[in-house]
Structure 1
Amino acid sequence: MVMNRRFITVFIMALMASGLMVAYADDFNVDEIEAALKTRIENGYAVGLTVGLVKDQQSYIISLGQSAKANGFEIDADNIFEIGSISKTFTGILLADMVQKGEVKLIDSVADYLPDNVTMPTRNGQQISLLDLATHRSGLPRLPDNMAPKDINNPYVDYSVQDLYEFLSGYELSRDIGAETEYSNLGMGLLGHVLALKAGMSYEDLIKQNLLMPLAMRDTGIELSGEQLSRFTTGHDVAGEATAHWDLPTFAGAGALRLSANDMMKYMWVNMDVAASALADAVTLSHEINAEFAAPQMSIGLAWLIRDDGDKSYVWHNGGTGGYRSFIGFDKQAKQGVFVLSNSQDNVDRIGWAILENRLDDLIAEKIVKVKDADKYVGDYQLTPDFILSVSQEDGQLYIQATGQSKNAIYMKSENEFYFKVVDAQISFKFDANGAVTGLILHQNGDHPADKI
């Protein structure tokens, strides 16, 4: 394990060149944070991590680990990561910027920007608006049902614009538009697509012109140069194995962006309103609450999520692809922010919130212990009639796969107590008098028993 920690001189020079001001960080307990994060690398929770911290007008970046599990190089703030759904916040700001410029309106119908031969779903005479897409309240599903990837390790690469148009033209909404929230990669991908159609250019060119160039974010994009590819980290799946990068040609606005930590720091500074920017009005508009979200104390702006903790309000989002996890969150009033980039499946939300809420003990990762007699846990556990948790094992490592979901590793605390790294959830196994496993309890937003079948 190799650690790299440095003041972000390159970032400072770039911001000064673009008219933004920045100062060095000297009031974080960086040593304590770094020591805790180091346990995540040493104990196999993460291959590489880059964590950015902002407090008032002070910034710091901590880089740990390697670009790849095998034959990797030491990570620093110039290495590039996939950020998955944090791309949605760029699309939200892009929409806000085009609204500010008078190019579109939030209430505009999506159908107005699609080709004439595409029929956009409607319900009870109501049409889906740009705002509905940006707030996940369009009634469109998470993904289209005609998505059948040839390569599950790069599931969006072969989904075409024509596939999207065929889905939209044949889909019937199951509920009223705006009635409730359903997180939709399809909806945000469609939003990026129609904004690009309106501008007459690709999504990537539009993002570069309207956002990345004004913010001097030169290491952010979709198609990377040869030099940038040399700094592109390798993603790792839930088993810790290297996996393919994701390509989202049709749904670029939902999750296609890649960037460096230096560029993520610029992005966080502007969103926190710590630094002056020509995009300040658009950023502010993107943070304004438009609707309640699907969880208590949660609401949504234009893609950005807002968590109300009483005396504190956090603007945040997370992201994930097949090999990466990412988090960004900040309290604008306190001028405090954190981002986390990982090229593996570590629980970056846990890292980000622990730092924001000063719960640094939660950053420490326990040593992973291989499970003896792992076969006794293997089997299917019925949570509900149509929802099964399937437990498998590979070389003493247990995995759980829920119906319709991907497989995730669980880690041993004791013979019957296990936990996930990717989400805040635990598993307790139940045994009979002979020591055979008879069921489990999923501890996530309550206790949910499941019998072994």
Structure 2
Amino acid sequence: MKSHLTGACVASALVLAADAQHVPGREQLERLIRDRVDSGMATGIVVGVLEADGTRRTAAYGTAGPGAKPLTEKSVFEIGSITKVFTGTLLAEMAARGALGVEDLAQAHAPDKMRLPTRGERQITLLDLSTHHSGLPRLPDNLAPSDPANPYADYTLERLRAFLQRHTLARDVGGKFEYSNLGTGLLGVLLANRAGADYESLVRERILAPLGMNMTGVQYSQAMAAERAVGHSATGSPVRDWDSGVLVGAGGLQSNMDDMLAFLDANVGPPRSALERAMRTAHQPRRDAGESMRVGLNWLTRTVGQDRIIWHNGGTAGFRTFIGFDPERQVGAVVLSNSAQGVDDIGFHLINAAVPLLPTPVHLPPEMLRRYVGVYEITPEFRIEVTVADRRIYIQATKQLRFEILARSETEFFVRAFEARIAFIIENGESTALILRQGGVEQRARKLR
């Protein structure tokens, strides 16, 4: 593999006491991503840190993919669900302008002929959508892409209307955190409808242009296309980009490290503009999102000891991304990878060393892996299928991609593609259930077959 390593250091407007600095030095930073790529756990990684002493630093290692320029802080990645915090920021910004209220009924801002489901007397609010408490499922059941490799491309407003019209909520509105790409995608539709614009134009006018983020967008500009990184599967094969369709507000943006550090900087420290004040509103935790986790307007807040990390991650077929910061220490990190192997642990560890890096996986014989094969049910609408192929074990949740899981022990596994752990329950030598731990939430799934 041809590898390219770069580093840059830029003065920031933030100045803090030197004893608040945590971020590793340049040599450690470069060694961290070099080790991850050279071990086969990534194709290429660009990492950026916002230090407490007022500097930004970046490093890149690996390859940007076939036909791409060398990997640098200029390389453009799909940032996936990090788009959700831009959507949450739009909600806060529009509320600050008086265009709407965070707790408005979502139906009040829906396009013509769109009817949102209700449950009992409770209607879905904009806040419900932004905190994943709407009761809507993770994905609509009429997604049915013509090309499974590009699952959102042909999902239209008409299909979204049809789903919402006939859907019956299985959970109480506002009752429980349930991560929903559908919910945040719908929020993006409602905000754009209220503003009388398409989502990309709205996010560009309200966030990207004020922050000088010229290398961020839904569609690739000529300059962005010239710096495009190629996504790769977890096994290292190039994969195609995703097109976002109508649910663009849930995961449709592309960006690079320079722009993402500008966005990170705007989210850290005392606010310097109306936009930055709206950003601080979006950070504020409003509802529980599992053990040691709360959620604001799409921003998640994780507690690590006495410290807080405000964060989000993203993932598409060929990319994994992370952004986060400690609001008290004013230290933050962005990690961009063009591989479907997770980087959350790098981001969290850079912000707070108490969060460990992923362990080195252990090898288990195929006969041991095969006892875990089967279908496990968390709810009737959400099942996890466990399969084994070519001496590797995989999980695939309902209407989601397949991911490899790696062993920490005979019964404990972790997902390299994103931060999640799975523990299998063994009775009489056979698996009877699994426990999924993700985002501070623990869910038990019984084995159906």
Same fold flag (TM > 0.5) = yes
Query: Do residues 302 (structure 1) and 297 (structure 2) align?
Result: yes
Measured against aligned partners, the alpha-carbon deviations of 1:292-328 in whole angstroms (never above 9, x if no partner) come to 12x1121111111112335212111111111111111
CA positional deviation for 1:138: 1.4
Contact 2:68/2:228, CA 8 A, preserved across alignment: no
Of residues 421, 426, 432, the one that matches 1:425 is: 421
The structural deviation recorded for 1:226 is 2.5
Report if the CA contact (8 A) 1:237-1:344 is conserved.
yes
Please, which runs of 5 or more residues in structure 2 have no aligned partner? none
State which of 155, 179, 182 in structure 2 corresponds to 1:183: 179
TM-score, normalised by the number of residues in structure 2: 0.85
Aligned pair 1:66/2:58, yes or no?
A: no
CA contact (8 A) 1:350 1:424 kept: no
Amino acid of the residue matched to residue 347 of structure 1? G
Aligned to 2:312: 317
Judged with a 3 Å threshold, the aligned counterparts in structure 2 of structure 1 residues 429 and 103 are, in CA distance, closer, same or farther, namely closer
Query: Does residue 4 in structure 1 map to residue 5 in structure 2?
Result: yes
Post-superposition shift, 1:249?
Answer: 2.1
**C-alpha contact (below 8 Å) 1:134/1:303 kept by paired residues:** yes
Could you say what secondary structure the match of 1:137 adopts? coil
Q: Would the aligned equivalents of 1:290 and 1:301 in 2 still touch at CA under 8 Å?
A: yes
Instruction: Give the Cα separation in 1 of the matches to 2:90 and 2:34.
Output: 36
**Amino acid in structure 2 at the alignment position of 1:186:** L
TM-score (norm 1): 0.85
User: Contact 2:369–2:393 (CA<8 Å) still a contact in 1?
Assistant: no
Q: Which amino acid in 2 is paired with 1:4? A: L
Compare 380-389 and 308-317 and name the one that shifted more: 380-389
**Pick aligned residue for 1:381 from 362, 373, 381:** 373
CA distance in 1, matches of 2:129, 2:216: 24
Q: What stretches of structure 1 of length at least 5 have no aligned partner?
A: none
**Equivalent residue for 1:399?**
393
> Identity rate of aligned residues, in percent?
33
- Which one of 287, 293, 309 corresponds to residue 283 of structure 2? 287
- Cα distance in structure 2, aligned partners of 1:133 and 1:344: 29
Q: Distance in 2 between matches of 1:136 and 1:246?
A: 23
| Aligned equivalents of 2:176, 2:337: Cα separation in 1 | 32
CA distance in 1 between counterparts of 2:22 and 2:173 reads 49
Cα offset for 1:33? 2.6
Q: Distance in 2 between matches of 1:447 and 1:211?
A: 36
2:225 is aligned with 1:225: no
Cα 1:187–1:75 change in 2 (3 A) is same
Of 111, 117, 120, which aligns to 2:116?
120
- Residue of structure 1 in register with 2:334 after alignment: 339
- Corresponding residue for residue 271 of structure 1: 267
Q: For each residue in 1:112-165, what CA deviation from the matched residue of structure 2 results, as whole angstroms up to 9, or x when unmatched? A: 222342222122233222111111111211111111111111100010000011
Question: Residue 297 of structure 2 aligns to a residue in which SS?
Answer: coil
- For residues 414-453 of structure 1, what are the structure 2 equivalents within 5 Å? 420-422=415-417, 423-425=419-421, 445=437
Amino acid at match of 1:264: M
- Tell me the matched-pair count: 434
User: Which amino acid counterpart does residue 300 of structure 1 have in structure 2?
Assistant: V
Could you say what secondary structure the match of 1:166 adopts? helix
Higher Cα radius of gyration: 1
Query: Is 1:144 aligned to residue 140 of structure 2?
Result: yes
- 1:258 paired residue number: 254
Q: Does 1:199 align with 2:195?
A: yes
User: 1:381–1:451: 8 Å Cα contact kept in structure 2?
Assistant: no
Residue 80 of structure 1 is matched in structure 2 by 76
CA distance in 2, matches of 1:160, 1:246: 15
Q: Is the 8 A contact 2:412 2:423 kept in 1?
A: yes
1:166 aligns with 2:158: no
CA distance in 2, matches of 1:289, 1:449: 29
SS of match in other structure, 2:318 = coil
